[in-house]
């Protein structure tokens, strides 16, 4: 399983850009569906299979490192604003990771199932307030939509 996530993230580790992330989120969601048990039954699996429990922090760490690299790259290229408070992007990484990792659990609990495309767009909504004008322009191109800030 760890090898599968490595393969999914291999291409974007080179350039953790918004374009690559937008393209790669769908394979990540497909990975979740393939390994549905991992996301729905993690705690139970950890209790019964200690060897499996060792894989969970490894996969989690890789996913969060990837998201942090995306924000560092976006900050360096002027796509996102500098954080207004210390650790803001790390917290945003945690929120995005939780959204992605617990998506299947949320669907089970609420009975609401979103398409992969809608879910991907919802993730961009979390990032939107941090975008610079250049970032908004880039995201508009990626989503093929005309996006504007409410206060502009």
Structurally, at CATH architecture level, domain 2-143 sits in: Orthogonal Bundle (1.10)
- Domain ranges in the chain? 2-143
Specify the residue for token string 């060897």.
51
Our CA dihedral for 90, 14, 120, 3, rounded to 10 degrees, sits at -90
Global confidence as pTM: 0.81
**Over residues 64-70, mean pLDDT:** 90
pLDDT in tens, 2-26: 666 666 556 545 577 888 888 888 8
CA 150 to chain centroid: 24
pLDDT in tens, 90-138: 999 999 999 999 999 999 999 999 999 999 999 999 999 999 999 999 9
Q: For residue 79, give the DSSP letter.
A: S
For residue 78, give Cα distances in angstroms to 37, 91, 107, 122: 39, 20, 35, 22
């Amino acid at each position: 399983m760890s090898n599968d996530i490595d393969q999914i993230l291999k291409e974007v580790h080179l350039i953790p850009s918004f374009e690559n992330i937008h393209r790669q989120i769908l394979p990540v969601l497909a990975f979740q569906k393939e390994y549905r048990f991992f996301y729905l039954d993690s705690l139970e699996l950890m209790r019964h299979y200690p060897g499996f429990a060792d894989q969970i922090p490894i996969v989690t760490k890789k996913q969060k490192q990837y998201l942090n690299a995306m924000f560092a790259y976006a900050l360096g290229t002027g796509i996102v604003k500098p954080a207004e408070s210390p650790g803001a992007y790390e917290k945003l990484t945690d929120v995005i990771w939780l959204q992605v990792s617990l998506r299947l659990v949320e669907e089970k609990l609420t009975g609401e199932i979103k398409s992969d495309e809608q879910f991907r767009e919802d993730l961009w909504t979390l990032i939107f307030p941090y975008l610079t004008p250049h970032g908004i322009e880039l995201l508009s191109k990626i989503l093929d939509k005309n996006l504007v800030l409410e206060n502009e």
